[in-house]
A and B are shown apart, each in its own frame.
Chain A
Amino acid sequence: MRINSREELELRRGEFKASLDSQSKQILICAGTGCVAGGSLDIYEKLKELMEENDIACSVVLEKEPHDTIGLKKSGCHGFCEMGPLLRIEPMGWLYIKVKVEDCEEIIKKSILGNEVIDRLVYQDKESRSYQKQDEIPFYRQQTRVALEHCGHINAESIKEYIAVGGYHAASKALFDMTPEQIVNEISDSSLRGRGGGGFPTGRKWGQVLKQDEESRYVVCNGDEGDPGAFMDRSMMEGDPHRVIEGMLIAAIATKAHNGYIYVRAEYPLAVSRLEIAIQKATERGLLGKNILGSGFDFDLKISQGAGAFVCGEGSALTSSIEGNRGMPRVKPPRTVEQGLFGKPTVLNNVETFCNVPPIINNGAQWYKTMGPKNNHGTKAFALTGNVNNTGLIEVPMGTTLREVIFDIGGGVKGGEFKAVQIGGPSGGCLCLNAEESHLDLAMDFDSLKKVGAMIGSGGLVVMNDQSCMVEVARFFMDFTQNESCGKCIPCREGTRRMLELLTDITSGRGTMEHIELLEDLADTISETALCGLGKTAASPVISTLKYFRDEYIAHVVDKKCPAGECKALLSIIIDPDLCKGCSKCARMCPVDAIHGEIKKPFTIDQSKCIKCGTCLDGCKFNAIIQA
């Protein structure tokens, strides 16, 4: 079982690769959180059952000599979540979308026993063009996958498959061919920057830890992906857990650390279990633990689960949480690289950052620098969500424009016209179209986004259409931050609460121009005086919406109107008597009995009773009910 040297690693790799290649066909069922929720595990079980019934040689684990069998495996997230559950058949590269248990028989019969594509299961675009192969679909065609390279392509629970596709080669190179200084230099040369949001140069961080006098050091992976609307890190931990581990191992070799932690949100149970399996397998194989690959280097890795606190994504709060305390940030300096976990020098990087490390070590810094603009090299994974046609997980070179992401990959805006994109979660800002500048052609990278008051953040991209009220968006994020404020420093604890009150006043129709002034005032104060990143950036959504959508704020406070029609307190729902046929459907649906009338005559809504829930709006077949 145990691999005792790098030569043996290469030997095993050859064997595992031969086994993988000998599978005549492979069925990869997406077992990411999204597709699992859509029922993909039932499909897996059904396919397994059908193959057994039909005596098809099927291997669910990679065996040594399974000639001409069908590989059936649960892979990580394929990314095209909107179309889930997804199923891909290799080596043809066919992608089936929205697969149901009932489709399984046909899949086995036509595509596995036969060589036929099932047309009704392949992706069709709006112009009814069919795409059999995954690589041809516009959603995938324009992506460059580095960190997500194996996600959805290998069995997420198999270390053999990871090794077969080249896994742990970079770690062995780092162990045997490079000194810690050389590794740090390679990473510095590649100009890899932290993918968690801050964009701090990773090589510089590692170098700072390496030069500390302290004997004991730690490597910590930040998997506390708390930004609402972001799931890149989750997909990487679920879909390619060994890649995360290998990245951390290289960081440990580079900084001479012998202990590591992966801090994962408790909301990601699947990621936790996949990582547990991966750590156990890697330890059994001698790729973690004592004397890794016979090199004499030791590295122990543990998982620490979060318990639901957004602020724990902040470095010092995260280490404090691993230590078993309340996750509250502390004053810096000393910085985490000097005194981090248990007071020792600590490398703290985000999941995606670690996932970028092995390919850089394998292919060199120069290769990495061929992607993306200067000082912003590489790729970035984004979670594309909200009112967009193709929701999902994507990875594109840094510097790709918003237009390419939303319209080419994302397939355009859903349910209305494009209005804005919220980027970087509660710490980020909005990008939009407005009279002076259009952000659609802005390159998305650390530096370009900073210039317009937004940030790349961890990579959540929430697309909003013209029915989204930007004041409400700002209120939503403030509600989130206020809730998640740890309460240690007054600017954040009190300031976010007051800002939330002001925003709630505005969306409830109680706002005045003074509210807007006060908001701006408070935003400045909090940004300048809060203790940690959460507080310092808490006002960003407000500042950015005020900058680009000031008219909307003014409409709320002066005209008492919500232009997007979202703020219920500023709307009334009425029935157009000319269109109403008097069918009484709305009256029956109304939860508060506010609609009355005589059959076949126009009905009316009692405004004093109406709670503006909108149930009647969705129910009317004649479009007679309108918001005004």
Chain B
Amino acid sequence: MESNEQIKINRILDDYNYDPALVIAIMQEVQKDYRYLPEELLCYIARQLKISEAKVYGVATFYENFSLDPKGKYLIKICDGTACHVRKSIPILEEFRKQLKLSEAKPTTDDMLFTVETVSCLGACGLAPVCTVNDKVYPAMTPVKARDLIEKLKEEAHANQ
């Protein structure tokens, strides 16, 4: 692990007083920064908090929000809460996957641009079906809008290059 990374992690650990009861909060901070939890960082956190690697790994894999795999630049989450489901969210998920040649087993594109996943209820049920791209909510989605959104994001990514 590089030293500037170590400084960053130590600062987070400092903020939480190296309290093992706050391991979830600590990992949330780390994930905010890295957008996933790199394995070596988990080992480092375990050593610093004086708890076993198994415990940290156990907690990291238990909660849905933690990811041990890197995410694409655009993280697309399709809400599959009941309200979105009955207003047909699955065809939207399928459209995203089809456009990006992704599947449940392969959620991220090879160029690391897109990750597509489902999320349990976001509580924006009034706007169902919704999806989010990097936490921005897109209301009343349809498969056609999904296709357009991908086009727009691709153009945006292309323009930024």
Complex Cα distance, B148 from A82, in Å, reads 24
Q: Which positions 375-400 of chain A face chain B at CB distance < 8 Å?
A: 383, 385-387, 391-392
Q: Which residue of A lies closest to B64 (CB)?
A: A308
Expressed in whole angstroms, the Cα–Cα distance for A119 and B7 within the complex equals: 59
User: From B66, which residue of chain A is reached at the shortest CB distance?
Assistant: A307
Bound complex: CA of A230 vs CA of B83, how far in Å?
9
Verify if A555 is at the interface (C-beta below 8 Å from B): no
A480 CB contact (under 8 Å) in B19, B65, B66, B120: B120
Residue B112, interface by CB 8 Å: no
Interface segment out of the listed A174-182, A196-204, A321-329:
A321-329
Q: Does A304 contact B (CB under 8 A)?
A: yes
Residue B13 interfacial (CB < 8 Å): no
Contacts of B137 in A (CB 8 A): 33, 36-37
The chain A residue with its CB closest to the CB of B85 is: A476
Decide yes or no whether B127 CB sits under 8 A from chain A: yes
Which B residues lie at the A interface, using CB under 8 A? 19-25, 27-28, 58-59, 62-66, 80-83, 85-87, 91, 94, 98, 119-128, 130, 135, 137-139, 143
A340 CA / B101 CA spacing, docked (Å): 47
Q: A269-B135, A324-B22, A613-B91 are in contact. Are A231 and B65 (CB under 8 A)?
A: no
Asked if A268 is at the interface of the complex by the 8 Å CB criterion, the answer is: yes
Contact status of A307 and B63, CB under 8 A, knowing A82-B126, A468-B86: yes
Q: Which residues on A sit within 8 Å (CB–CB) of B121?
A: 226-231, 267
Given contacts A81-B127, A305-B25, contact A460 B82 (CB under 8 A): yes
State whether A229 and B126 are in contact (beta carbons under 8 Å apart), knowing that A267-B119, A267-B120, A308-B120 are contacts in the complex. no
Contacts of B86 in A (CB 8 A): 386-387, 462, 464, 468, 473
Q: What is the CA–CA distance of A468 and B58 in the complex, to the nearest angstrom?
A: 39
Residues 321-355 of chain A: 1 if any B CB is under 8 Å from the residue's CB, otherwise 0? Answer: 11111111000000000000000000000000000
A385 to B19, CA, bound (A): 41
A37-B137, A422-B82 as given contacts; A268 in contact with B59, CB under 8 Å: no
B-chain residues with CB within 8 Å of residue A309 when the two chains form the complex: 62-64
Contact with B along A551-570 (1 / 0, CB 8 A): 00000000000000000000
| Cα distance A422–B143 in the bound complex, in angstroms | 26
Contact A305 B87, CB 8 Å, known A228-B120, A230-B121, A234-B123: no
Interface check A310, CB cutoff 8 A: yes
Flag if A613 contacts B62 (CB, 8 Å). no
Closest to A342 in B: B21
Return 10 A-B CB contacts under 8 Å, by A number. A84-B127, A231-B121, A268-B123, A307-B63, A308-B65, A309-B62, A309-B63, A324-B59, A326-B62, A386-B128
- Across the A-B interface, give the 9 residue pairs with the lowest CB-CB distance, nearest first: A81-B126, A308-B64, A37-B137, A307-B63, A228-B81, A385-B83, A231-B123, A229-B82, A308-B65
Distance from A158 Cβ to chain B, minimum over Cβ atoms (Å): 23
Hey, which chain A residues are within 8 Å of B62, CB to CB?
A: 309, 326-328, 486
Known contacts A324-B20, A615-B143; A266 and B127 CB within 8 A of each other: no
A391 and B82 in contact (CB under 8 A), knowing A38-B139, A307-B24, A327-B63?
A: no
Interface residues of A (CB under 8 A from B): 33-34, 36-38, 81-82, 84, 225-231, 234, 266-269, 304-310, 321-328, 383, 385-387, 391-392, 422, 425, 460, 462, 464, 468, 473, 476-477, 480, 484, 486, 591, 613-615
Cα distance A225–B58 in the bound complex, in angstroms: 23
Out of A268, A304, A326, A615, name the residue touching B58 (CB < 8 Å): A326
A477 to B80, CA, bound (A): 11
A34-B126, A307-B24 known, 10 other contacts, Cβ within 8 Å: A37-B139, A226-B120, A227-B121, A228-B81, A228-B82, A228-B83, A229-B82, A305-B25, A385-B125, A476-B85
Q: Is the CB of B63 within 8 A of A385?
A: no
**Nearest-CB residue, chain B, relative to A480:** B120
Q: Is the Cβ of A391 less than 8 Å from the Cβ of B126?
A: yes
A309-B63, A386-B87, A462-B82 as given contacts; A33 in contact with B24, CB under 8 Å:
no
CB nearest to A228 among chain B residues: B81
Select the residue from A225, A325, A327 with max chain B CB neighbours within 10 A: A325
Shortest beta-carbon distance from B43 to chain A in Å:
17
Q: Do A33 and B122 touch across chains, with their CB atoms under 8 A apart?
A: yes
On whether the beta carbons of A385 and B25 are closer than 8 Å, the reply is no
CB-based contact B83/A229 at 8 Å: yes
Whether the Cβ atoms of B130 and A37 lie closer than 8 Å is yes
Q: Return the chain A residue nearest B147 by Cβ.
A: A591
| Chain B residues with CB below 8 A from A484, complex form | 120
Contacts of A226 in B (CB 8 A): 120-121
Taking the nearest CB of chain B, how far is it from the CB of A264, in angstroms?
A: 12
CA A327 – CA B21 in complex, angstroms?
13
With A and B bound together, what is the CA distance between A323 and B55 in angstroms? 13
Nearest-CB residue, chain A, relative to B136: A37
CA distance A37 to B141 in the complex (A): 13
The distance in angstroms between the C-alpha atoms of A304 and B26, with both chains bound, is 11
Docked Cα-Cα span, A473 to B23, in Å, equals 37
For B122, list chain A residues within 8 Å (CB).
33, 267
Contacts of A425 in B (CB 8 A): 82
A386-B86, A613-B91 known; A324 vs B21 contact (CB < 8 Å): yes
Nearest Cβ in chain B — how far from A32, in angstroms?
A: 9
Chain A positions within 8 Å of B23 at CB level? 324
Chain A residue numbers with a CB within 8 Å of B21 are: 322-324
Q: Give the distance to chain A from B157, nearest Cβ to Cβ, in Å.
A: 23
Across the interface, which residues of A come within 8 angstroms of B127, CB to CB? Answer: 34, 37-38, 81, 84
* Chain B residue nearest in CB terms to A468: B86
Nearest B residue to A303 via CB reads B25
* B126 and A84 contacting across the interface, CB-CB below 8 Å: yes
Q: State in angstroms the CA–CA spacing of A519 and B20 once bound together.
A: 43
